[in-house]
Structure 1
Amino acid sequence: MSWVIDREWWMRIYADLIVKSIDLSFEKDQQATDLLSTLLDGRSNLIEFDEMIGSFKGFDESIVFGCGPSLVSDLEFLMGNNALKDKLLISADGATTVLINHDITPHIVVTDLDGLVADIAWASLKGSVIVVHAHGDNIDRVSKFVPMFKGRIIGSTQVEPRPHVYNFGGFTDGDRGVFLSHSLGISRIILAGFDLDGEPYSCPGKLVPFNKRVKKKKLEIAKTLLKELESKGVRYFNVKGEPYVL
C-alpha cells in the first residue's frame, strides 16, 4: 500500500476542508477502501501505480475532462483543432459517456461509480485504465460494479491506502484526475469541461441523482484543491491554450 500524495498534508486537507464541509465519516471511507482492496486482490487485470507511471511516461501534457456544461463544446473544439494528439486523456466519471459518444477513448477514467457504469465498462474494454475511487457513500456500488471491469484497474482512496488502493489526493472525480496527472509527473494540464463557478450541473453521463447544495460545496472544495496543487507547480490551461484562472 502506498501514499502517493504527502500523507501529513493530505490528511490535514481531508480533516480541515473536506470533512468539515461535507460531514464525511473517516470510518466509512476506510471501510469502502478496505472492501475495494479485497475485491482487487488477485485480479489478473490489476495494474499497480508504478506500472501506470511506466505506461504513461511518454506524456508531458494531459487533458482532464470534467463533466460541466462546457464539456461538449470544449471537446469538439479540441477535436476540431486536432488538439487531442500526444496528450494523456483523463476522463472524470460521467464525462466518459460524452467522450465515447464522440468516438474518443480516454487513456484513464477516474470514477466513484456514479456515472453510467456501462459506458465506463465499455471504455475499460477499449483500453482505458479504470481508477475506481472508494468512499463511504459508494460501498454498494463498489461491491456491485468493480467485477464488471475487464480491462486494467486500480483503486484510489481519500483516507489510508491499502494494497492496490492508492491515495493520489483529490476529492471530486475531476480534481482527482488532475492530482493523478500530477502524480504521473505531468504538470501542464488542460482543463476541459471544468465549470467550477457556475450552477451545479448534472452531467449527461451521471447515474446517481445529486443534491445541488452538496454539489456546490464539492465544486468549492475542488477549486480550493486545484489552487493548492497550483502552488506546487502545476500549470492549468483552457482548451485554447490560454492560462486557466481559478
Structure 2
Amino acid sequence: MDLKTWESFYNQILDDFGYGSAEDLRSAEILEEMIKKFKNNVDLSEISEKIFEKEVYIFGAGPSLKKHVLKLKETINQDIAIIAADGATKALLEENIVPDIIVSDLDGDIDSILKSNDLGSIVVAHAHGDNIDKLEKYIKLLKNIVGSTQFPKKFDLLVNYGGFTDGDRCCFLAEEFGAKKMILCGMDFGIYVTKYSRPNIENDVELADEVKVKKLKYAEMFVNWLVNNGKSPIEFMA
C-alpha cells in the first residue's frame, strides 16, 4: 500500500476513533531518534531475505492461536517464514518455535518479545500516539529492529506499508517483501481476546471491549483489502 492510499485510510481511522495525529508524529520522531542513537536497526534487505518468495505463516493472538501453533509444529520445514504479531510470540516460544519476525507496538508479553529477539527474531517496532512510554523503555533493550509508523509521511529510518493492528501490519509487511503466499493463523477477527494479546486478563479467553472489537474489524477489512489488491495469495489455516 502506498502512502497516499494509506493516508485516506489513516484519516478515516482518526475520525472513527477520535484520535489525533500529533502524538503519532511525535512518537514516530522519538522512535527514529532512538534508532539513530542506539544504532540497533537492521537493513531492510534482511527482512527481504526472510520473506521473498516464501510461504509466510502469520500468527495473530486470537482464540485459534494455540491450535494453529501446534498444527504448524507438526509440519514445519525450513522453506517457510514465520511472522508473529506481538503477543503471539509467547505461544510460539512455548512450543520452541522462534519467529523470524515480530511485528509489535510493544504492548504484549514483552519478556517473550525480548527473549525471541535475543534468539534471532527481527522486531518491527511500531510507534503510535499512546506507546511512547514503551518505546522509551524497551527500544534500547532490543537489537535487530526495524522502526515503523502509521503517520503518513516518509521517514529516513521508519517504514509504513499500511495497516492498523499488529496482525494486519504483518500481512502488509509480507506483501511488501514479496511473499509467495500468506497463511494466516490465530487471526479470528471476532469478539474475543486471549491472554496472548492481553496478558493482564484473568482467563485464557475473554470478551473484547468495544474498542478492541472495532480494531479487529479494521484488521479484517485491511486483510480483505490485501486479498483484493495484493499480489501475494492469502489463505487461512483450517
TM-score in terms of structure 2 length:
0.90
Post-superposition offset of 1:103: 0.3
Deviations 1:97-137 (CA, angstroms, capped at 9, x unpaired): 11111100000000001011111011111000000000001
Structure-2 separation of matches of 1:92 and 1:137: 18
Match of 1:90 among 83, 93, 96: 83
More moved, 182-191 vs 205-214: 205-214
The 5-angstrom pairing of residues 64-213 of structure 1 reads 64-80=58-74, 82-149=75-142, 151-159=143-151, 160-196=153-189, 198-204=190-196, 206-207=198-199, 212-213=209-210
**8 Å CA contact 1:59, 1:88 repeated in 2:** no
Structure-2 separation of matches of 1:223 and 1:58: 24
One-letter amino acid of the counterpart of residue 237, structure 2: V
More moved, 99-108 vs 21-30: 21-30
**8 Å CA contact 2:147, 2:158 repeated in 1:** yes
Count of residues paired in the alignment: 231
- Structure 1 equivalent of residue 2 of structure 2: 6
Post-superposition offset of 1:57: 5.4
Structure-1 separation of matches of 2:123 and 2:101: 6
Deviations 1:184-214 (CA, angstroms, capped at 9, x unpaired): 1115100000111x22313335346796100
Structure-1 separation of matches of 2:128 and 2:177: 22
**8 Å CA contact 2:180, 2:232 repeated in 1:** yes
Structure-1 separation of matches of 2:97 and 2:122: 14
One-letter amino acid of the counterpart of residue 214, structure 1: V
- Structure 2 equivalent of residue 244 of structure 1: none
- Structure 2 equivalent of residue 48 of structure 1: 43
Cα separation, partners in 2 of 1:144 and 1:173, compared to 1, 3 Å: same
Structure-1 separation of matches of 2:158 and 2:52: 24
**8 Å CA contact 1:98, 1:205 repeated in 2:** no
Structure-2 separation of matches of 1:154 and 1:204: 22
**8 Å CA contact 1:68, 1:203 repeated in 2:** no
Residue segments in structure 2 that go unaligned for 5+ positions in a row: 202-206
Cα separation, partners in 2 of 1:57 and 1:110, compared to 1, 3 Å: closer
Percent identity over paired residues: 32
Structure-1 separation of matches of 2:77 and 2:17: 35
**8 Å CA contact 1:175, 1:226 repeated in 2:** yes
